[in-house]
A and B are shown apart, each in its own frame.
Chain A
Amino acid sequence: MTDWSAFWLSIQVTLCGLAIAVAVGLPLAVLLALRRFPGRNLLEVLVTAPLVLPPTVLGYYVLVSVGRSSAIGRFWESLTGGPIVFSMTGCVLAATIAALPFVVKNSRSALEAVDPGLMEAAANLGAGFPRRLWTILLPLARRGIIGGCMLGFAKALGDFGVTLMVAGNIPGRTQTAPLAIYDHLLSGRDAQAQGLVLALTGLGILVLWLVNTWANPRPTDRRS
């Protein structure tokens, strides 16, 4: 009964968006956790603003900044031949914006929780920064980082407002699962919507459960 193409499109879009959010967000989290520099607070506020801004505000910013009459939009179109809006690129951008705050915030607190003494000891033993990052910091902070990624995934999978405004709702191309649910419900096809509703609910609950039990366990649950 349910048409799953929107669901699989959503999964693809979300994974792409999450990959970009990690590529951008993890270095930012390392920077925010380890370095003090002017504008540090402003940077963090900007990165995490999507958590508190209304989707319509975000969607408006995206339309204005990467729309077809914007400088970025025109540059992209001259480069790739297609616009960012009304394409899967637009959906991925929306997913990245949704996931980024979770990736940065959670990774940053996990990185800050790593005992600085360990980093100093390794430095005294002659380990350079890349090696300390790779062998001490990231492995010790991995639960928090992965937890942030999972929350980011769940949030990006459910993005509605920004995607609605920038992606054009084209079935099979830019119609993600939340948009498909909306269209099904408005057209009175509740049965079609139900499968997607259940799938998104299940995924969301699974992610939260994993984050609570594995990535971010309460002290009493922890075995070590």
Chain B
Amino acid sequence: MPGDFTQLSFITLFFGVVTFILVMFLPAFLELRKPKDAGPRRIEENVVSSKYQVQLASIERSEDTEADLAVIKKVANILSALPNLEP
């Protein structure tokens, strides 16, 4: 057998192991005694529709923005500068 266990090292080892086990299993014991986790993970349901909703919302918002009005003015200016091709 390698080395000689003194009484002190034996006691240290014993309490070390007991403390390790307690620390290791204490959270599990607490959670099992009074579960606080919300249970099964809820799977994603509306990945497609939520993306559409975001797109629709952003289009709706963009109708009020000044940036769009500026673009419209620029287009109107270009159109007015074009020659009239109607007979």
Chain B associates with chain A:
no
Interface residues of B (CB under 8 A from A): none
